[in-house]
Structure 1
């Protein structure tokens, strides 16, 4: 199962998300659930890098973490929120259709 954790601050801004595990929906190379989650995660990282100039992520086999620094400008924070809220919506839509393979935990700390 792919487990996605979304961490928010007290203002409901996304501080980071982590994606870990494998869907095991199908064989590697043909797993559409894994491909969909991976596409969203890499899109988030690419958009953060290109649009907000934030390159703070970790990626290993079966794991990705993307963190938003706390000391960014309000303008960058707004753009980061749009990117990440869109990605989280995508994660949740996949979870809705494939609950056996994807779990999204969206929490405030």
Structure 2
């Protein structure tokens, strides 16, 4: 099972996420849940860099992806960054709703 955890700051913005494990839905290379979660997370990391001009601290390896951000002072860029981080959580919840908590569990720390 994949565990997707999200941490928020005092203002409610997601400041980090971590996803660990494998869904077990299908064999490696055929698992659409793992692929979906990975695509959502990696797209957000790239978008944080390209759209918000942020430099997220991230780490990727087989069965693990994590990202932590520090929001910029610029309010517009901070809003873009917060929206992108929230979109990772929303995407994971949608995958969880479609395929069940036996494959993906999303929680807030």
Instruction: Settle same-fold status: TM greater than 0.5.
Output: yes
Q: What SS does structure 2 have at the residue aligned with 1:15? A: strand
Task: State the aligned residue count.
Answer: 106
- Is 1:101 the equivalent of 2:99? no
User: Which residue number corresponds to residue 18 of structure 2?
Assistant: 18
In the TM superposition, 1:70-89 aligns within 5 A as 72-73=72-73, 74-89=75-90
- Quote the Cα distance in structure 1 between the aligned partners of 2:35 and 2:42: 10
Equivalent residue, structure 2, for 1:42: 42
Q: Distance between the aligned counterparts of 2:108 and 2:25, measured in 1? A: 23
Aligned-residue offset at 1:58: 1.1
- The runs of at least 4 aligned residues of structure 1 exceeding 4 Å deviation read none
Query: What is the aligned partner in structure 2 of residue 4 from structure 1?
Result: 4
Deviations for 1:46-100, whole angstroms, at most 9, x for unmatched residues?
A: 1111112223211122111111115x21332111111111221111011112211
Gaps of 5+ in 1: none
Superposed displacement of residue 30, structure 1: 0.7
Matches within 5 A, 1:47-62: 47-55=47-55, 56-62=57-63
Please give the TM-score of this superposition, normalised by the length of structure 2: 0.90
